[in-house]
Structure 1
Amino acid sequence: MNFTTSDKISVQKIEKSRINEVDFDNLTFGKDFSDHMFECDYINGEWVHPTIRPYGPLTISPAAKVFHYGQAVFEGMKAYKDANGKVFLFRPDQNHARINKSAKRMAIPEFPKDIFFEALHKLIDLDRDWVKPGNGNSLYIRPFVMATQEGVSASPSDQYKFMILLSPVNAYYTGDVKVVVAEEYSRSANGGVGAAKAAGNYGAQFYPTNLAREKGFQQVIWTDANEHKYLEEAGTMNVFFRINDTLYTAPTSDRILDGITRKSVIALAKKDNIPVEERPILVSEIVEASKNGTLKEIFGAGTAAVISPVSTFNYKDVTYELPPTAGGYSTKFKKELTDIQYNISEDPFGWRYEV
């Protein structure tokens, strides 16, 4: 992908960087933010005033519709720095397409591609020093849009604010994850907004995830809302199951997010001649595969964690242990993905995008 910057975006630079105030060796994911942020407003039917300015608070009306009707969507991306100091994004065109898909589902106007990419270029270039090299280090990028029109009438907003924040991060999870299979709560339902990265989707997950944590599990594997028979996602990630040497994952739908890491894992598996099946997966068949020893791996796939292996799953108060993942598919795919992201290996797919 080629891109040429223009002068559409005004830039207000900081007077003094805050970078020396941050302990990059001990980061809490998503807590610290870089020196600058991007914002653009939707007013009178068009996106106007694209601006990069110093990171700081907003002034917003308490009657803004985002607070009352939840009109907000977001994306998650990362920037990576290689050993030579070059900075790369990973499949950013997919993030742009998906935030617009999410926006459409939430009756939010789509954001122009040219301004999106120019904002990424200029913002990351300004805060390039916040992208630290080394495996596990990256700059998490949070584009989001929210409804800003004042009023509490139950109708779509006619004003919005699109923003991009940058947050330096280390690895999201360290070690394998213990999960519980949902039997009561659901992440999404047919005809709903499960395929959109809508803010409310994630807010609704917090309570059942807290219940799981009280029982010693870090995440929930979500099941279908109708019968809780089919496995769909793991926490905020897509989920994969390895039975013998075949990889299984649920097909995307209006309930399941079209994950960028998910589709990248599928592409890598096909390149490596690993059988992949995208089909509905019964809880019962995973339980049976665990009992008879054919279930080799479960792992989540998403931007924040990249690949997150599962060591234990619990269903109907019975705990099932998985074999050690060292040398398995999760290890293999994580290395292949991160080698592309950090410009360590060749990129046969054209996923890497230099900033």
Structure 2
Amino acid sequence: MVHLFGKKQKSGESRKKQSNQNTIKQIGLDRKKLLKYKTPSDVKLFYQMPIFLVIGFVLFLTGGIWIQHNANAYRQRVLASSMQYGENLPLWGGTAKGNLSLGHTKLSRDGRTLAVEIKYDDAAHQGLSSYGSRYKLRLVDTKDNRMSDVKMSYGIFGTDGSGVLQIKSPNGFKDKSFVVMLIDNGQLVTTDDLTQTQQMNDGDLDKSITAELSDAGTNSNTTDSNDTNNDSKRKNLPPLYYVRLNAHNAVKNYRDWSNDSEVIEDLFIKDNLKKIKKSMLETKIKLKKTTKTLAEMNRRLAENKNDEVAQEGKNQLETSVSSLKTNYASLQKRYEKLENATFNGDILNPKQKKYRVYTIENINYMN
């Protein structure tokens, strides 16, 4: 018992001694912590703010450069491609005589002939010539896409139809855009034109266009005064429309063309037949529904002659049925006439086959 009691007493003293040592060490650590300086959080943020500012500026600058790069790349892709179907042809000079728009574009099977439909609105048919031979043609290419060896012609399908531009390249076309200008050489005179005494001959016209393109090519950073001066010069020109084309954006045709008849058939006659047939089908469906509703009104009136709502509906529906039948008959007549029509191989005559080429550094100068 004494031995065990003495051993426990010794163990307790040892633990107490160890505890005192740990307490002394802890007091020493606490003193060191108290003596160590602690930087306030707001002071730390003050030192970090310039770093955050620099990082933010770098990210902002990088984002701006990236956006600008993508915007420029997108613009280059757009300008390297053809104008879109239905897009109005811009007016590069003169005063508009109506609207011209881009219709169908097709590339022959061998890839050497590009056919382009130019649509005229009513005002254009009234103010511009209906004969292709009375137009001037100007081709604008670039130094990396010279096209001086192509054959080009412009004719109009009928006196109130679309214009057809044909460009034949013996070596095919590069995947690059080019511009064709259409200038009405014999524009129709209106009462407003009678007050104008100045007329521009071919030489003056070409000199003016050459000067404009030359200025655009050499002065990419034009001032506002130069722009105003160029605009005033362009107003003195006759109506000058232009279309931007890229043969690689055209629909590939299933055959080559040997005459104008085949060109217009593939370019827009077949598409027109499809549109007429679609309109006929829609009209037929409307006629069927209207006739069914009319039968309902007649049935209601047979049971109640005093049904005013049915009587009013019947009158309106009878008018609609008559109108739909007339419209369907007209569409059917147009379809049969167009389907059975035969066109001469030179249906687009008289055509303009002469043109002049302008070569510039960048096709973007035309915009």
TM-score by length of 2: 0.24
Q: Normalization by structure 1: what TM-score?
A: 0.24
Larger Rg: 2
Structure with the bigger percentage of strand? 1
More helix by share: 2
